[in-house]
Amino acid sequence: MATRRLRQLQPILHRCTQRPFFSQPAQSELIQVTPKVSLFTDKVHIKVQGLPSKAKVTLHAMTEHEWRRKPAQFVSCSHYVASHSGEVDLQKDASVGGTYTGVEPMGLFWSMKPCPSGPLNIRMVVKNVERPVLYKLSVYLGHLPLSDLHIKNTQHEPLSALEVERVVMPSNVRRIPVREGTVRGTLFLPPGDGPFPGVIDMFGIAGGLMEIRAALLAANGFAAFALPFFGYDDLPKTFTEQTFDYFEDAATWFASHPSIHPEGVGLIAISGGAAVGLMMAWHCPQIRAFVRINGPGFHGFMINLHRKGMLLKKGVRLDMDKCPVTEEGQVMKDGWTFPEEDIIPLWERDVHMLTLISDDDGQNHPHVGDMPKKLYPEDRRHLIEVMHYPGAGHLLEPPYNPHCRTCYNPFFGQDLLWGGYVKEHAIAQEDSWQRILNFMNKYLPSSS
């Protein structure tokens, strides 16, 4: 395991030692980040040295992205009191204010929120996984609120600033666009000849092609296939009518790929993608391990599935009278009405399922995710694991990606309340990512 991890990190470390990020004044040495280039899901060590003794300081982080083709900034800050020797160490010192408090070495990353001078109903989405995510870290004298640092015409000069790179796709991971028959997506292969344990990765009703999780899986030694199912290329424009043949073809193609271990593949899916993923795990013999993230135990989310021109499964409908629109967005978790017989009997197959449930999910009620386990026969319960996350919201993503409580959804034409609280959600993302990796390593055939 240690040897494989070293091989995964080698290209990142090489980049760190081979080139500077940008020309910086000597003062930038006040901030030290180790390593300066790191995998997106890895922890870093942040220290500030050379400060006045016992000085009150603000650490600030900023990254730039796009949201619906418009520029967007995500920012965070924390307040510290320097030691007698003029040092702040995020591994041992507590933040006393800002976007997080307490001893939180990665707090500047997971507590990020939309810049207060821009739209607040947006989500940080890493679209281009081949480019590192850049963060600018700065330190200021005094305890400054986030709003003061982002109001126009307010001048606050940093004592020091440093740019940090977080890599989603290491340079030794191969990214291969896929157009096989009707199947679309992107294949990510780790370094080496394989065959590798393979994982199909699906997102939900945001649509389009989402590659971040698949790229990070490849960075951890899995061959991963990011599989979109609407809103991308020549796929359907919306998710409500889907051809199940597409998903069966995707599973068949991926499982038979020469780089994939031939003894079965895994599947990870979230939200509406998890509803389709549940049907795949039930019908596709290639799938032997399934991670269901905040998805129902029935085939739902209003997705009608057709197979060879015939209706295979009608999606469970929402009772919109039970889906109130609040100030933060629409809440749909109480709108699902379904009989017990709609639960997909995955226990009939030898598929291991890890179910991750966020207890403050605004779209999927925790009891909806819990129901399948109660129906598993006693002699089949070893096939299902359930993990609850108190205070976490719907959008469980890889660790240190900022929590999104609410954002605009184009299908519904309004904001949806995903729920969750910043710190609790960050804890859930860190724990769930490691559980996913451990689960897939346990139940998929290992790399040669």
* C-alpha–C-alpha distance, residues 328 and 415, integer Å: 7
Return the exposure string of 362-395: e unless at least 16 CB atoms fall within 10 Å of the residue's CB, then b: bbbbbebbebbbebbeeeeeebbeeeebebbbbb
Q: How many Å apart are CA 60 and CA 38, to the nearest integer?
A: 19
- B/e letters for 245-268, b = 16+ CB within 10 Å, e = fewer, are bbbbebbbbbbebebbbeebbbbb
Reference 80, options 66, 64, 92, 72; nearest CA is: 92
Cis status, amide bond into 262, omega within 30 of 0: no
What is the token pair recorded at 304?
């009608």
Q: Which residues contact 17 (CB under 8 A, 6 or more apart)?
A: none
Q: Hey, which residues are catalytic here?
A: 271, 361, 394
Q: In this structure, what token pair is assigned to residue 316? A: 């469970």
Burial class (CB in 10 A: 0-12, 13-18, 19+), 71: exposed
Contact between 58 and 81 (Cβ < 8 Å): no
Give the ranges where 177-243 is alpha helix by DSSP (H).
Answer: 212-219
Token readout for 83 is 């030691």
What's the longest Cα–Cα distance across the chain? 74
Could you give the 3-state DSSP secondary structure of residue 204? coil
Quote the DSSP letter at residue 238: S
CB 391 within 8 A of CB 421: yes
Grouping H, G, I as helix, E, B as strand and the rest as coil, residue 117 is coil
What DSSP line would sit under 141-171, residue for residue? Answer: ES---HHHHTSTT-----SEEEEEEEESS-T
